[in-house]
Amino acid sequence: MGKWLKRIGLVLLAVLLIGGTWAYIELKAAGIIPRRDYETIAPEVPEINRPAVLLFDKTNGFIHRDAIPVANKVFAALAEAKGWGVFHTRNAAIFDEALLSRFDLIIWNNVSGDVLTTEQRAALRSWIEGGGGWLGVHGSGGDIHYDWDWYVNSLIGAQFIGHTMDPQFQDADLLPTDEAPELTSHLPRRWRISAEEWYAFDRNPRDTQSTILVTIDEQSYAPKGETHFGFIDTMDGEHPLVWRHQRGHGRVFYSALGHTPQTYQLTEYQQLLSNAMSWAAGLNDVERDQKTAASAAYGSVIDDEISKLSP
């Protein structure tokens, strides 16, 4: 009897070890367990048109597998519609002073976790504060594993504390403000978005001198307060989701929208991102002067590119 119990115990132990190893591998692959992967050899950057966009989507945290490729195609299409050049990479060694000088706008597409070395962080901060434009979406400000205070408190301007979980994806009404009409005037006064994940933050970015562009009406969906793992999906008072500010001589735009690929296919969101790209790159005047031509190009290129995307 004792031998059988010992064998059963060994079998159970083996099952637990195998199951635990499998769970660890799966959680790390999904980004639930943060990684510490860094690159030190930069990619080769070809000659590209100016204005030039650096499209970056490295993940050392949660990986938005469905959203990232769709968002990349949308951002590339928006840039091409303006006649801008685009270079896409997830190699963080691109954050080098000499290489960054070749770009007018950096887009972080659902970047998560700490992805830059100390030297790369310094290069990005110097580039932004020296006059560069930065645009980040969704996961780029939605992580609890940052170890870079400047990124959280100065660049994003707030710490992510959770998102809807019960259910995770809900319909909600967004409320554009009138504080930056050049970016948001095309949006409806009450902008209904279906089946998205709604972020909450530890403070209102308005308190860190950001201009709030879009808030969410918490009465239009079902926030639960504290959700799983101590996450919180609600905020006291105003609940911003899209904002912008200036950091040194540079311009910063962040949108918490974009967990699902369908959100990037919304015409209103594409136009908001297009406007934000122009503002962050400091090219609003050029956009106004070329409004008619840009509008026609925007429509044709976006129609072609988005038609290729699967939901």
pLDDT score recorded for residue 18: 45
In this prediction, residue 230 has a pLDDT band, given cuts at 50, 70 and 90, of: confident
Residues facing residue 85 across a β-bridge: 52
pLDDT at 130 over 50: yes
pLDDT in tens, 1-48: 566 655 555 545 544 544 433 333 334 444 557 789 999 999 999 999
Residue 299 scores a pLDDT above 60: no
Q: What are the DSSP E strand ranges found in 164-292?
A: 170-176, 191-196, 199-201, 211-216, 240-247, 250-255
pLDDT above 90 coverage of the chain, percent: 77
Query: Band of the pLDDT at 294, cuts 50, 70, 90?
Result: very low
Residues across the chain = 311
Quote the pLDDT of residue 20: 39
Confidence of residue 304 (pLDDT cuts 50, 70, 90): low
Specify burial of residue 265 (Cβ count, 10 A radius: 0-12, 13-18, 19+): middle
pLDDT of residue 228: 86
pTM metric for this prediction: 0.84
> What does the pLDDT average to over 268-277?
98
**84 or 13: which leads in pLDDT:** 84
Helix then strand count (H, E) for the chain reads: 10, 11
pLDDT in tens, 2-11: 666 555 555 4
Q: How far is CA 240 from CA 85, 188, 257, 301, 311, in A?
A: 31, 16, 11, 31, 27
Core vs surface per residue 167-176: b (16+ CB within 10 A) or e: eeebebbbbb
The 3-class SS string of 154-182 reads HHHCCCEEEECCCCCCEEEEEEECCCCHH
In this predicted structure, the answer to whether residue 281 has a pLDDT above a threshold of 70 is: yes
Identify the band that residue 251 occupies on the pLDDT scale cut at 50, 70 and 90.
very high
Q: For 260, how many CA atoms within 13 A lie in the half-sphere containing its CB?
A: 15
